[in-house]
Structure 1
Amino acid sequence: MKTAILTLAALLAASPALAQTTVQSCDRQVTFDAPPQAAIANDINLIEMMLVLGLTDHMVGYTGVSGWVKLDAEIAAGVEELPELSSHYPSREVLIGADADFYFAGWNYGMRVGGEVTPETLAPFGIQVYELTESCIHIGDKDPASIADLYNDLRNLAAIFNVPERAEALIAGYQAELATFLETLPALDHAPRVFVYDSGEDVPFTAGRYAMPNALIEAAGGVNILDDIEGSWTTVGWEAVVERNPEVIVIIDYGEVSAEDKQAFIATHPAFAEIDAVRNNRFVVLDYVEATPGPRNIRAVMTLAEAFRGE
């Protein structure tokens, strides 16, 4: 009996080390001794990642939604028991005041380089941070945006909260759903040239090679006319857009200016009259939550794939 007690004690002493999980977060390795119990996610797409993994019981709130977009019915139902702690990026005081132990955010998705809320500034208060993979380009080198970025975040979140099987089931389902759908579509005779229009009239805010729409367009069979831009979400001159003559224009729907108004601006502006997409009225709309990294990227690829084929 004494031997059994000693063996059990040894196992219990060893269990904290066995329970530790280490994940790669941009240029950092972050170790978690146990699943967070007071998590906060910033931005609607990151919140939805938490939802699809069934992690709301580990959350104490969310931030960064109502200042830019509205929760749709599906996401609103998933977080109805949780408060929005800040309508825009949260301050450090907001996160500390909520007794948070985990912050899921990204660079330009709740954190700014050199800002008051970063992994380094939150660490002294016991708040660990996992950074959105797509956003890592803002602090270092990274491969161009890919659907794999989404899968990487789901796997890392699931590892942090000790539910790895949930991520694997989701990813397998997403991959099968997308592959099956694409197989039903006719082949493209060429990869259509695509421009992403987020906002802006003097200069357009758009997606370079490190922003998720670049990956969505590629997965759907097209090519982003700005895939050579070494940036994520960025601005370019209208001259470059006209010169590269997109065949399809993707409009990101969010903010105070409606998708209809954005389309009307481009469609009626004399300078854009000879763009193929304008001449042929080939516009497609993606919601913000579809165009930024998150579970609805799969649906976005399907929407684009149909639009590229004129369906």
Structure 2
Amino acid sequence: MKKSLFALAFTLLSAPAFAFPVTVDSCGKPLTFDAAPKRVVVNDINMSEMAFALGLQSSMVGVTGITGWYKLDDAFIKQQGSIPELAPKNPTLENIIAVQPDFFFAGWNYGMRIGGEVTPDTLAPYGIKTLELTESCVHLDKNRPAASMELLYGDIEKLGKIFGKEAEAEKLISGWKTQLAQIKKKVGTNSGTRVFLYDSGEDKPFTAGKFAIPSAMISEAGGVNIMDDLESSWATTSWETVASRNPQFLVLLDYQDDVGYKKLLDFLKSHPAMKETDAVKNERFVALRYAELTPGPANIEAIEKIAKAMHPEAF
């Protein structure tokens, strides 16, 4: 009997501790959970991939804001499985509460809009707690640090804590950091390439500024975002500004529609100022998907793609 009790005590002491309640930060506000959420809705492809990376599918009762914007690859479809999409674009309050969730993972301009129908405050009366994507918090508070890979790491850590999967989160982050260290080692001193990210827009280009994760990704790949002084995350600038900074390399957002990134490249080649820039004249670019350029697991391979295209000699 004593042996059995000792063995039980040892087992309990050596088991991983997922103690609740837990509290995480969500855009500067504490968010407390007495237990792991059981009915989860996640907005957007990048945040869904975060949830999938931690194996949260069994708790997910819906995703939103995916097929109305993007074509899905087989890997995403397989991970999504039977989880229904509640709204192809931005969800309504009705879309969300219809499945009686207790947790919503979204961001500002990632399924939620300031003063809109779906916000943490409008969901709270229904017993729904909202974790806000950290990159998007700049829309509430401009006094934030410039983008770094902590935007991804921090959100994965929070999800791990909320769902009792801290060990899994730590393993993911450790692996990503190892991959990035290997990329940096290869790139070495080949740094400082001037990079412009072109998302969309013809009258004015829509791009990634100081607070958007592509700025950090470009840095990790050995480049400099020429718009890293734009005091925003995703915003418009002027073609005059971009051309005057003469980018040497382009990151083109490929929405995988009928024309994809080629439409962007063709436009740049015809633009009177941009066609004279080094990047356009030399056709130096990489095309990346939306999920690769918004906070999510796909960021790591995307950084390697940027680095390889920018510094092929290093690989």
TM-score (norm 1): 0.91
Gaps of 5+ in 1: 1-16
Query: 1 CA distance for matches of 2:163 and 2:279?
Result: 45
> 2:39 is matched with which residue?
38
Aligned pairs for 1:88-237 (under 5 A) are 88-140=89-141, 141-185=143-187, 187-188=189-190, 190-237=191-238
User: Is contact 2:24-2:158 (8 Å) kept?
Assistant: yes
SS in structure 1 of the partner of residue 201 of structure 2: coil
SS in structure 2 of the partner of residue 143 of structure 1: coil
Query: 1 CA distance for matches of 2:76 and 2:153?
Result: 20
1:237-256 deviation digits (Å, cap 9, x = unpaired): 11101111100111011164
Return the offset for 1:258: 1.3
Return the offset for 1:302: 0.8
Give percent identity, aligned residues only: 49
User: Is contact 2:184-2:220 (8 Å) kept?
Assistant: no
Cα RMSD (Å):
1.4
> 2:285 is matched with which residue?
283
Q: Do residues 47 (structure 1) and 18 (structure 2) align?
A: no
User: Is contact 1:263-1:283 (8 Å) kept?
Assistant: no
Query: 1 CA distance for matches of 2:227 and 2:187?
Result: 26
Query: 2 CA distance for matches of 1:173 and 1:306?
Result: 19
Return the offset for 1:69: 0.5
Query: 1 CA distance for matches of 2:200 and 2:222?
Result: 24
SS in structure 2 of the partner of residue 184 of structure 1: helix
> 2:274 is matched with which residue?
272
> 1:22 is matched with which residue?
23
> 1:298 is matched with which residue?
300
User: Is contact 1:68-1:255 (8 Å) kept?
Assistant: no
Query: 1 CA distance for matches of 2:55 and 2:162?
Result: 13
Query: 1 CA distance for matches of 2:187 and 2:112?
Result: 40
SS in structure 2 of the partner of residue 270 of structure 1: coil
SS in structure 1 of the partner of residue 276 of structure 2: coil
User: Is contact 1:212-1:293 (8 Å) kept?
Assistant: yes
Return the offset for 1:30: 0.3
Gaps of 5+ in 2: 1-17
Return the offset for 1:217: 0.6
Q: Do residues 245 (structure 1) and 246 (structure 2) align?
A: yes
91-100 or 42-51, larger mean C-alpha shift: 91-100
Distance 1:92 1:280, change over 3 A: same
> 2:6 is matched with which residue?
none
Return the offset for 1:310: 4.1
User: Is contact 1:197-1:250 (8 Å) kept?
Assistant: yes
Query: 1 CA distance for matches of 2:145 and 2:186?
Result: 30
SS in structure 2 of the partner of residue 104 of structure 1: strand
User: Is contact 1:39-1:101 (8 Å) kept?
Assistant: yes
The AA in structure 2 aligned to 1:173 is G
SS in structure 2 of the partner of residue 273 of structure 1: helix
1:106-158 deviation digits (Å, cap 9, x = unpaired): 00111001111111110000000000011110001211111111000000001
The AA in structure 2 aligned to 1:75 is F
User: Is contact 1:182-1:302 (8 Å) kept?
Assistant: no
